Structure 1
């Protein structure tokens, strides 16, 4: 359990593996952690605080209020005014302009087979 992520909520500590987290959704000073099994956990911390507590590379921030697990990234669509990511769960999220530049740089380092960019 060395890769285990430990988060504290009102009922105590929660131990999660990085592959269990699908995405984070920020809502002001709260963060919803959505898990692959469909559970939704609520923490009274900002999304930035939550990302600082995660191991490097576990989640990728795509906008002010969303971070995704790249393991569940199905495809990326980055055009001038249309920037989206699609998850294996079927969800579609908009990528901010600044984060799109970062994703383009990352995609050049990765092979096209892992994350196709159209």
Structure 2
């Protein structure tokens, strides 16, 4: 696979500062008979499974909620969370690399997940990544590390 775009990884300490900059609040998720607040910046990606959405967090934990991925997408900040195809939304704060191989684009995330990007969404995705990284570079005090 060929590396498509130089990406910059946020250090762990920079995540909270970026979350403050983008005014990321906690996300209230429904559970059996109650609701629970989860820090939005800790979400690495969301994976749609029918009428359910599986959350993958930066500590390796996962959580399933009974809301569709489409419904969850409306509750997330568009500049940070990007829908790559019909089953996955990723948090750009955890993007490590973007690779391209024979018309298939794949992103690597900080938790080790590899997610394919649909051909239809590829150009929009690259533009969103560039805009996000430009805004991150403009923040003072957050060192960025170029991914290998």
TM (normalized to structure 1)?
0.82
| Structure 1, gaps ≥5 residues long | none
Q: Does 1:17 align with 2:39?
A: yes
Q: Does 1:56 align with 2:48?
A: no
> Which protein is richer in helix relative to its size?
2
Q: Point out 4+ residue stretches in structure 1 off by more than 6 angstroms.
A: none
Q: Which residue in 1 is equivalent to 2:106?
A: 84
Does the 8 A contact of 1:18 with 1:58 survive in 2?
A: no
Q: After the TM superposition, which residues 22-37 of structure 1 pair with which residues of structure 2 at under 5 Å, given as runs?
A: 22-37=44-59
Q: Aligned Cα RMSD in Å?
A: 2.5
TM (normalized to structure 2)?
0.67
Q: Report how many aligned residue pairs link the two structures.
A: 115
| Deviation readout 1:52-92 (Å, 9 max, x if unpaired) | 12233342111100011110000112466121000011211
| Structure 2, gaps ≥5 residues long | 1-22, 138-143
| Deviation readout 1:16-58 (Å, 9 max, x if unpaired) | 1121111100011111011112221111111010111223334
Q: Relative contact order (C-alpha < 8 Å, sep 6+): which is higher?
A: 2
Does the 8 A contact of 1:78 with 1:100 survive in 2?
A: no
